[in-house]
Amino acid sequence: MATTKIIELIGASPNSWEEAAQNGLTKAAETVKGIKGIDAISFTAKVENNKIIEYHTNMKIAFVVD
């Protein structure tokens, strides 16, 4: 029986929330092995001059513990 651990992080992107999630997942995968899924918790954005300049996706990443 596998044990799963969950970490929470925020990915960022200048283009979209989807890309922000992918960027966060890609960065996490550099040091976390066995990622099995993500749960997008919330979506926020940084705004300047009434325009979104950076998208943020807050997510939980689940991975198997060896």
pLDDT value at position 1? Answer: 72
Show Cβ contacts of residue 1 under 8 Å, excluding neighbours closer than 6 positions: none
pLDDT value at position 48? Answer: 98
pTM: 0.89
Domains of the chain: total: 1
> Mean pLDDT across the chain, nearest whole number?
96
Whether 66 shows a pLDDT value over 90: the answer reads no
Say how far apart CA 3 and CA 7 lie, in whole Å: 14
User: Would you state the structure tokens that stand for residue 55, as one six-digit string?
Assistant: 């998208």
**Residue 36 belongs to what domain range?**
3-65
Q: The CATH number of the domain where 25 resides is what?
A: 3.30.1660.10
| 3-class secondary-structure state, position 2 | coil
